[in-house]
Amino acid sequence: MIINMGPQHPATHGVLRLVLELDGETVVSVKPIIGYLHTGIEKNCEYRSWMQAIAYVTRADYLSPLFNELAYCLGVERLLGIDAPPRAQALRVMLTELNRIASHLVYVATTGMELGAVSVMLYGFRERERILEIFEMITGLRMNHAFIRIGGLAMDLPEGVEEKIRDFLEVMPRRLDEYEKLLSHNPIWVERNLGVGYLAPERAIELSTTGPVLRASGIAKDVRKDEPYCGFEQYDFDVVTRTDSDCYARYEVRMEEMRQSMRIVGQALDSLPGGPVMVEDPKFKWPARLKVGPDGIGNSEEYVEHILGGSMEALIHHFKMVTEGVAVPAGEVYQAVESPRGELGLYVVSDGGYRPYRVHVRDPSFVNLQSFRDQVVGQMVSDVIAIGAALDPVMGGVDR
């Protein structure tokens, strides 16, 4: 019997279509059909300037937008041969680790809801709101921030945010204990997750799986430790692995990763260096020359006077910066970061112009979905939901 779990389904993470071939209740084979959220982000990036493409790349994997931006900006910075200042690097680490916690909270919330623990959904989103409030204070938006820019960050931290983050770091461990009390030894949770969706380590490597799915199979591959970026060498954290390779192990890995991320955020906040958050080159620093006016963000009056009344050259320069942006030397680079779902790689190709020539997002969920078939064969229909939830695919990244 062939069943279609259509793209609109309360329990498939986004618009994933699964065509299941069943024999009674056991799954014989599955065909995941994707593409229902294909947005043409990569093609669209080729028609925008280097800085504008950040707003597009952000929306690929929409649960971890800062990671998309980080990978893209690091790649372009490598092509340009510049380095963001140390304060920007530390803040990037802090923001992305907070994003990792937020993304894992969505995993816990939606997985809980899909497996029947509806109250976990409310708790997960309650915690996530705290993080989104912090993001809103810093970047101005709750999601899809476009805050990490080429050369650093768009703006520095506002007042009062550090305190808010420390409050969050104080409260969160108790909340995580609450989740573990609710779920970890819950007989229903254990029954539905333990031994479900086994993926052998060798097979996982063959299928290019990364992230918590791979680490739950025992292989300690983490881009933050293997190829550190943004100064990750200086932070003290553990790469979490388990050896069971089933859905329960992936749940444990993600819960522990949240705790490790909180460690990193605390260290980043404690050792935050002073200085600018953007490279001093005027080609990049432009958006940061804004001033907080009475109604929010506004133009810096002295700057406006300078370019309109002062030198003509400054006006021309400003015009060129706004319309064209920066020209990146020809070359290609592949920048990998460790996103909550695995290795997020951005392959950026430049032909020396003012616009990207080719931006390819190597999304971890897209590649991890290939292991879905191997995990599901021989399991029951209800396990399909558990396996899909433990893979944690985000269809925005899968389809781009």
Partner 1 sequence: MTPEELVERLGPRFDDISLAHGEVTVVTTRERLVEQLVALKGDPELGFDFLADVSGTDWPDRDLRFWVAYHLYSIEGKHRLRLKVGVPENDVHVPTITEVFPGADFLEREVYDMLGVEFDGHPDMRRILLPEDWDGHPHRKDEELGGVRTQYKGGAFIPPIDQRLHK
Partner 2 sequence: MPVERLPGVVTGKTADDLEEEVRRGVLLGSLDWAVSWARKQSMWPATFGLACCAIEMMSTGAGDYDLARWGMEVFRGSPRQADLMIVAGRVSQKMAPVLRNIYDQMPEPKWVISMGVCASAGGMFTNYAIVQGVDTIVPVDVYVPGCPPRPEMLMYGILRLHDKVQKEGRIK
The full DSSP string for 12-54 is SSSS-EEEEEEETTEEEEEEEE--TT---HHHHHTTS-TTTHH
Using rule CB under 8 A, residue 9 touches partner 2: yes
Q: Nearer Cβ to partner 2, position 53 or 153?
A: 53
366 touches which of partner 2, partner 1, none (CB within 5 to 8 A by kind)? partner 1
Using rule CB under 8 A, residue 39 touches partner 2: yes
- Name the CA dihedral angle for 374, 377, 383, 386, rounded to a multiple of 10 degrees: 10
191 by DSSP, 3-state: which?
Answer: helix
**Minimum Å distance from CB 254 to partner 1?**
21
Using rule CB under 8 A, residue 42 touches partner 1: yes
DSSP label of 380: B
Site for partner 1 (CB under 8 A): which residue of 369, 376, 389, 394?
A: 369
Site for partner 2 (CB under 8 A): which residue of 19, 22, 28, 37?
A: 37
Q: Which residues in the 60-89 window bind partner 2 by CB under 8 A? A: 62-63
| Two structure tokens written together for 152 | 């650093």
264 touches which of partner 1, partner 2, none (CB within 5 to 8 A by kind)? none
| Two structure tokens written together for 41 | 């982000």
278 by DSSP, 3-state: which?
Answer: strand
Four-residue CA torsion sign, 160, 166, 169, 171 = negative
Using rule CB under 8 A, residue 349 touches partner 1: yes
Nearest to 182 by CA among 233, 225, 174, 213: 174
Q: Encode burial over 283-316: b for 16+ CB neighbours within 10 A, e otherwise.
A: bbbbebeeeeeeeeeeeeeebeeebeeeeeeeee
Residue with tokens 């590649």: 367
State phi, psi for 298 to the nearest 5 degrees: -145, 175
Using rule CB under 8 A, residue 116 touches partner 1: no
What interhelical angle do 86-114 and 381-391 show, nearest 10?
170
By CB atoms closer than 10 A (0-12, 13-18, 19+), residue 280 is exposed
165 by DSSP, 3-state: which?
Answer: helix
9 touches which of partner 1, partner 2, none (CB within 5 to 8 A by kind)? partner 2
161 touches which of partner 1, partner 2, none (CB within 5 to 8 A by kind)? none
Using rule CB under 8 A, residue 116 touches partner 2: no
Helix (H) or strand (E) holding 347: strand 342-350
**Minimum Å distance from CB 9 to partner 2?**
7
Site for partner 1 (CB under 8 A): which residue of 9, 17, 59, 78?
A: 78
226 touches which of partner 2, partner 1, none (CB within 5 to 8 A by kind)? partner 1
Q: Which residues in the 336-395 window bind partner 2 by CB under 8 A? A: 395
For residue 262, the one-letter residue type is M
Separation between Cα atoms, residue 209 and residue 201, nearest integer Å? 9
Q: How many helices (H) and strands (E) does the chain have?
A: 18, 10
66 touches which of partner 1, partner 2, none (CB within 5 to 8 A by kind)? none
Q: Which residues in the 120-139 window bind partner 2 by CB under 8 A? A: 121-123, 125-126, 128-129, 132
**Minimum Å distance from CB 148 to partner 2?**
17
24 touches which of partner 1, partner 2, none (CB within 5 to 8 A by kind)? none
Q: Nearer Cβ to partner 1, position 139 or 339?
A: 339
Using rule CB under 8 A, residue 207 touches partner 1: yes
Provide the phi-psi class of 245: left if phi over 0, else alpha when psi is between -120 and 50, else beta: left
**Taking contact as CB under 8 A, which single stretch among the options 118-126, 240-248, 294-302, 360-368 is the one that binds partner 1?**
360-368
Q: Nearer Cβ to partner 2, position 56 or 284?
A: 56
Contact residues toward partner 1 (CB under 8 A) are 34-35, 38, 40, 42-44, 47-49, 78-79, 81, 205-209, 219, 221, 226-227, 323-324, 331-334, 336, 343, 345, 347, 349, 353-355, 357-358, 360, 362, 366-367, 369-370, 399-400
Contact residues toward partner 2 (CB under 8 A) are 6-10, 14-15, 35-41, 43-44, 55-56, 59, 62-63, 106, 109-110, 121-123, 125-126, 128-129, 132, 142-144, 395-396, 399
